[in-house]
Every structure is written in C-alpha cells, then in structure tokens.
Structure 1
Amino acid sequence: MKKAVRTQRTDGEATYQRILEAAGELFASNGFAETTNKMIAARADVDLASINYHFGSRGGLYEAVLVAAHRYLINIEDLRRIEALEAPARDKLRKLIEGLVGAVVGHRGWQARVLGRELLSPSSHLQVLEQKEILPKLQIVLSLLSEITTIPAGHPALNRCLISIGAPCAMLLVAGRNLPILADPIFGSPRQDLADHLYDFAIGGLEAVARNCSAANFNGNQG
C-alpha cells in the first residue's frame, strides 16, 4: 500500500514538472497573454484539469514559472553558501557574478527568456515573484554590498548600489536576447571574460559610491 502511495506521488510530481516545463517554453516564446491553457496542456500531453489541479489557474502556473526561472538564475541556497564563505566580500561578489553569468549565458533554456519578457513588460505577477524570491535574496546581496562599501544597512545609497549589479543582469536577460547587435558580443565572448568585465564594472561603481559617501560624511562632520 505504501509503495502505491509513493508511486502516485511520484507521478504527480512528474506531471507537475512536465506542465511547468511546457508552460515555461510557451510563455518564453509567446508571452503570458498569448499562451492559453489549451496550448500548455497539448504541449505537456495532459488534460486541462491537470493544470488547475496543480497550479490553480493559468496565473498560478505563470507565477510558478517565474519563481522556477528566478531560482534557476539565482538560488537562495547558493547565495547563502556564498555569504558563508571565509573570503573577502569582493571575492564573494565575484562568485555571485560568475554564477549569474553562467546561468544566463551557459544555458539556452526558457528561464532567462521568460524573465527577460517579464522585465520588458511587467505584469501583476511580478509582485508575487518579488515577495517570494527577489526580496529575500536582496537582503543577502545588500549585506554583501554593505561589507564592500562600508555603507551601513538602511542607507539610501546602499539600495542604489544594487544598480551596479542589477542593471548588467537586466541587460543580459533582455537586450542580449532581443538585440542582435548586442547578442554576439555578449554570448559570443568567453564566459569568464564576460564575468570579469561585469565584476570590474560593479566594483568600479561601488568604489565610486563608497568614496562619495565617505566624502559627504566627512564634510558634514566638519560642518
């Protein structure tokens, strides 16, 4: 009896994953508005009821796809491992950027494409992604940036430092896959060269912000 229950659970997990993969491919290619449950069911080789059973609705399925895509790009467990390393904060940042580049450039699946679409044309489902995935991960990244810049947590300048990392990542997700003039230099260059370039870009911006904040604080104290 226990064996039958386990088989049923395994079959359900397999169906869930098959629907998720099929939906991810279709959402990445066509967008949320142009992808119907019927198209997803046909691609996944399931009935329509299976989508509602596992995800509640097409919107619920899309949110699950976004969450899965973001976890592929940057998993919070990987972030925690980087955070726990016995290494300078700059080395941790380099590992973070190398991981992001590897996930986007080294993989041609639907994950990066579906996130790129969502960034180009945000939907209400982005709020779910922010709460479930983005905000918890940002807290770890902000702690790392604070260590690099010595800007204290909660300072507005620290939040702006996220641009030094977020903007290049957005470029990888969006422009690199939609503008041919950028796709070749981004995806045609060695992965490590690209990671090194983005690291240098990020560090340069963080160092400039740190200097400006230190100067502002010094001048304010003198006044």
Structure 2
Amino acid sequence: MKISREGAAKTRQSLLTTAGEIFGEKGYRETTIAEICRRAGTNIAAVNYHFGSKQALYIEAWRHAFSESIQTYPPSGGVSGDAPPEERLRGQVRAILRRITDRNNREFLFMQREMANPTGLLEEVLREEISPLQQRTEALVRELLGVMIPEQEAKFCELSIISQCMNPVVAGRGLGGKTGGRNGPLDIEDLEAYADHVVNFSLAGIRAVRKAWEERNRSKKAGRPSVSLKDGSRRP
C-alpha cells in the first residue's frame, strides 16, 4: 500500500517529536528505537525509511527540537535590529534565559543528557546551529566594545555573558523554581529581574574593558612607559 506524501510527513514529524522527548528523558544510550516507535504509533521500518539509523534520528531530533526552540524564542528577543546595542543585548539575554529555562524545551534536555553522557554525535550539528547564535552575540559585543579592542578580549566578554545565563540553570535549573538551599544551586524566581542584572552587570564590565583599552592606547600614543602584567598585556 502506497503511503501518501502527507502521511509520510506526519509520520516523520511524529518520530522527531517522540524521539526528542525520549532522548531528552533517557539519553541516547538508554533509548531504543522500539520504544520510540511504540510511543509514536509506527514501526521500525519507518525509522529506517526516514532516517536510516538511530544515530541519524538522534541528530535530526535535536535539530528539530532546536528549530522549535528558536521559533518560540527568537534570538532577538523581539527587539528591533535598529534599536541601540544595549537594548539588543537585553533582548538577546532575555531570549536565551527564556529558552533554556522552559522546562518543556527538549533542546535543553537533550544537551543536559549529552553533557552528562557524551556521544559525540551532536558536535557537527551544534557547530552548524549554535555558531551563528554565538557570532550574533560576538558581533553585538564588538559593537559595544569598539573596533580597537583585541579579538580575544571581545571573545572573553561574550563568554562571560553566556556563562551568566547558563550557569544558574545548569547548576540545577534553579531559575523560576524552588531548587537549592543554603549551599545548593542558585535559586532565582524573577527571570526578568535576573535578565536585567545580567545585562547591567555585563554593560558595566564592557564599559570598563573599553575604557581600560582606550587609556592604554592613549598612553602608547603619548609615549608613556607601561608595566608588563602576568597575562602578557601591558598597563600604563
């Protein structure tokens, strides 16, 4: 019996959604194709037809979960590209936090499992999908820092911003919940307040970095002697 194109697309979608749920719950190694097919209401032949292997289904299920996540929480956070860079940074931070704190977000569940028990299967797709988001943040940070700041310094600032978003969540998904105690993961109930804190803290740091490098460059132009620091940089 010939399966219609619409039916095939529906089966593929069901497999992607179901696989994402189970891979997120159990991880790659503990998940079986039989379980995915049973929950999706299809058979193993459908997996072989649409994906060819468990590994390919795993990769495509993550890509599907990531795509849904980005559609739900656009990287801009709803802020116009014409807005001042400070506001665009605020939009990006809010989008990141909303995305990774959504407990129904299969993308982040995937990554939790992958970090706990790495398969190496997502390395390439992560570079393809995550790198543009990182480059977006790097470009915004560079805009705030100015063109004279070294590339490494700009990268450090971008990493600092992302880490502030990720660390409390990775420590126990403590945003918006009651996890943690005196010595447990950070407990943050007000997501918007934390987003504002990350942005204000980061902007203050970026301004400090920019000011330090501008003073350093002025000193060099004036011919003043500078002092070598342990990291190899020089201070006026």
Q: Shorter-chain TM-score category? A: 0.7 to 0.9
* One-letter code aligned to 2:206: L
Identity of aligned residues (%): 27
Alignment of 1:89-128 (within 5 A): 89-128=85-124
Matching of residue 61 in structure 1 with residue 57 in structure 2: yes
Greater radius of gyration (CA): 2
TM-score, with structure 2 as normaliser: 0.76
Matches within 5 A, 1:30-179: 30-74=26-70, 78-79=74-75, 85-151=81-147, 155-177=151-173
The answer for the alignment partner of 1:208 in structure 2 is 208
AA of the residue aligned to 2:129: E
Write the letter of the residue equivalent to 2:217.
Answer: N
CA deviation map 1:31-62 (0-9, x unaligned): 11111212211221211121122222111111
The CA deviation at 1:200 is: 2.5
Alignment CA distance shift 1:197-1:8 (3 Å)? farther
Task: Give the Cα separation in 2 of the matches to 1:153 and 1:220.
Answer: 14
The count of residues paired between Structure 1 and Structure 2 equals 215
Deviating runs (4+, > 4 A) in structure 1?
A: 80-84, 151-154
**Deviation at 1:146?**
0.8
**Residue 217 (1) aligns with residue 217 (2):** yes
> Unpaired segments of 5 or more residues in structure 2?
224-236
Name 2:232's counterpart in structure 1: none
Distance change in 2, residues 1:152/1:78 (3 Å): farther
Question: Residues 13, 149 of structure 1: CA spacing in aligned structure 2 closer, same or farther, 3 A cutoff?
Answer: same
Residue identity matched to 2:10 = A
Q: Secondary structure at the match of 2:187?
A: helix
How far apart, in 2, do the equivalents of 1:156 and 1:132 lie? 22
TM alignment of 1:184-195, pairs within 5 A:
185-186=187-188, 189-195=189-195
In 2 relative to 1, CA 153–216 (structure 1 residues): closer, same or farther, beyond 3 Å? closer
C-alpha spacing 1:45/1:97, structure 2 compared with 1 (3 Å): same
CA distance in 2, matches of 1:153, 1:42: 55
Measured at CA, do residues 183 and 15 of structure 1 come closer, stay the same or move farther in structure 2, by a change above 3 Å?
farther
Q: Are the aligned partners of 1:117 and 1:174 in contact in 2 as well (CA < 8 Å)? A: no
One-letter identity of the residue aligned with 1:197: H
* Greater fraction of residues in helix: 1
Partner AA of 1:51 in structure 2: V
Contact map agreement 1:151 1:157 (CA 8 A) in 2: no
Choose between structure 1 and 2 for higher RCO, CA contacts under 8 A separated by at least 6 residues: 1
Counterpart position of 1:196: 196
Provide the rounded CA distance (Å) in 2 between the counterparts of 1:16 and 1:152: 50
SS at structure 2 position matched to 1:177 = coil
Alpha-carbon RMSD:
3.1
Alpha-carbon distance in structure 1 between the residues aligned to 2:9 and 2:149? 41
Letter in 1 for 2:207: E
Mapped contact 2:145–2:210 kept (Cα < 8 A): yes
Give the superposition deviation at 1:147: 0.8
Residue 120 of structure 2 aligns to a residue in which SS? Answer: coil
- Using the alignment, how far apart are the partners of 2:205 and 2:114 within structure 1? 26
One-letter amino acid of the structure 2 residue matched with residue 60 of structure 1? A
TM-score by length of 1: 0.80
Q: Which amino acid aligns with 1:117?
A: R
